[in-house]
Amino acid sequence: MELGGKTAIITGAANGLGKATAIKLAGAGARVALVDIDRESLCQVKESILLAGGEAREFVVDITQKPDIKAAVAEILSTFGAIDILVNNAGIGWQHQAPFKDIMDDSWEKILDLNIKGTLYFTHAVLGHLAERRYGKIVNIASIAAKVGIANLAAYSASKGAMVSFTKALAMEMGPYNVNVNCISPGLVSNDAVPPPSNGTYLGRKGTTEEMASLIVFIASDEASYITGANYLIDGGRTLGPKGI
Ligand SMILES: NC(=O)c1ccc[n+]([C@@H]2O[C@H](COP(=O)([O-])OP(=O)(O)OC[C@H]3O[C@@H](n4cnc5c(N)ncnc54)[C@H](O)[C@@H]3O)[C@@H](O)[C@H]2O)c1
C-alpha cells in the first residue's frame, strides 16, 4: 500500500494496536501524527519511526477533552499541512470487567467518555477539513463485542456497538465528500510478539497487533476506495458458530 504524501492521525498510538498501526502507516510512507496521553511511550514510538526513516510527531492529548482535540488538530494541520487519514483507536474496557449491576458509575462513564465521546470529538474536529478537500479515510476500531456482546463488559460492548452504528451513519453523510468511513472489529489481540495459543478462535491463537494494523492500512489506502460503511470482523473466526454439535 502506497501512502506517500498522506498524513495520518492515530489516537492511542503509544501502545498496542495504535502503535503497530502508526509504525505500519509510516512504513507505507504516511506522515504520522501520534496522539496519546502516555508521553514516554509515545516518544519511543516516534523515535522508532524516525529511526526507520519515517516522518512522525507526537501530540500528547487527552481525547476526552474537546478543547484539547481542537488545539491538537490545528497544530497537526500547521505541522503537516493537511489531514488525510484518521484512525480512532484509543479505547479502554478490559481494565473494567465486572457485572454491570456491580460496576461503579465512574468506571462505565470513563469507558463511554473515551470510546464514544473521544471518537466523536476527534472525528468532528477533522470532518470540515476532509469535506473541504473532498478526501479522507476514517477507520474506527470497534470490537467483536459490538457483534456478540461480552459478559462483564456491558458498557464496553455498548460503546463498540455505538461505534459501528456511528460508522455506518457517517459513511452515508460523508460519501458525497469522497470521505470513506469504515470500522474494524478485532477479537482478542495479543500484544506480545508471539501470540499465545488458542482462546476459542478457529485459528487456534490470538491475533497480533500487526495483523490488525495490516487491515487498517489497507482500509486507509486508495486500494480500498470503493469501501465505505463497512465493519470488518478480524477475529480468527472467534464469533463463528460452535465447533460441531
Ligand atoms: N487488544 C484487544 O484484544 C482488542 C480487541 C478488540 C478491540 N480492541 C480495541 O482496540 C483499541 C486499542 O486497544 P489496545 O489493546 O491496543 O489498547 P492499549 O491499552 O494497548 O492502548 C490504548 C492506548 O490508548 C491510550 N489512551 C487511553 N486513554 C486515552 C485518552 N484519554 N486520550 C488519548 N489516548 C488515550 C493509552 O495510553 C494507550 O496507549 C481499543 O479501542 C480497543 O477497544 C482491542
- Residue position matching grid coordinates 488458542: 198
- Ligand 1 atom 8: residue of nearest CA: 143
Give residue 190's pLDDT. 85
Give residue 124's pLDDT. 98
Active site residues: 156
Give residue 243's pLDDT. 82
**Ligand 1 centroid vs 244 CA: distance in angstroms?**
34
- Kindly state the percentage of the chain with pLDDT values over 70: 97
Give the pLDDT confidence of 78-109 residue by residue, as tens digits.
Answer: 999 999 999 999 999 988 899 999 998 899 99
Give residue 31's pLDDT. 98
What value does the mean pLDDT take over residues 167-181? 98
Architecture of domain 7-234: 3-Layer(aba) Sandwich (3.40)
Question: Does 193 have pLDDT greater than 70?
Answer: no
Question: Does 157 have pLDDT greater than 80?
Answer: yes
Compute the distance between CA of residue 50 and CA of residue 181 in angstroms, rounded to an integer. Answer: 29
Residue 57's pLDDT band, with cuts at 50, 70 and 90, is: very high
Contact 44, 151 (CB under 8 A): no
Residue 141's pLDDT band, with cuts at 50, 70 and 90, is: very high
Give residue 192's pLDDT. 65
The best mutation among 15, 63, 140 to test binding of ligand 1, ranked by most ligand atoms within 8 Å of the C-beta, falls on: 15
List, in sequence order, every residue forming a beta bridge with 197; answer none if it has no partner: 205
**Ligand 1 centroid vs 243 CA: distance in angstroms?**
30
Q: What residues have CB less than 8 Å from 13, skipping those under 6 apart?
A: 19, 21, 22, 32, 34, 35, 36, 42, 45, 58, 89
Domain ranges of the chain: 7-234
Single-letter amino acid code for the residue at 221: S
Residues with CB under 6 A from ligand 1: 11-12, 14-18, 36-38, 62-64, 89-93, 114, 141, 143, 186, 188-189
CA nearest neighbour of 125 among 33, 21, 195? 33
- Report the interhelical angle of 154-174 vs 119-133 (nearest 10°): 10
What value does the mean pLDDT take over residues 119-123? 98
**Ligand 1 centroid vs 116 CA: distance in angstroms?**
13
Compute the distance between CA of residue 212 and CA of residue 141 in angstroms, rounded to an integer. Answer: 10
Which atom of ligand 1 lies nearest, measured to the CA of 115?
41
Contact 190, 141 (CB under 8 A): no
What value does the mean pLDDT take over residues 47-59? 98
**Ligand 1 centroid vs 182 CA: distance in angstroms?**
18
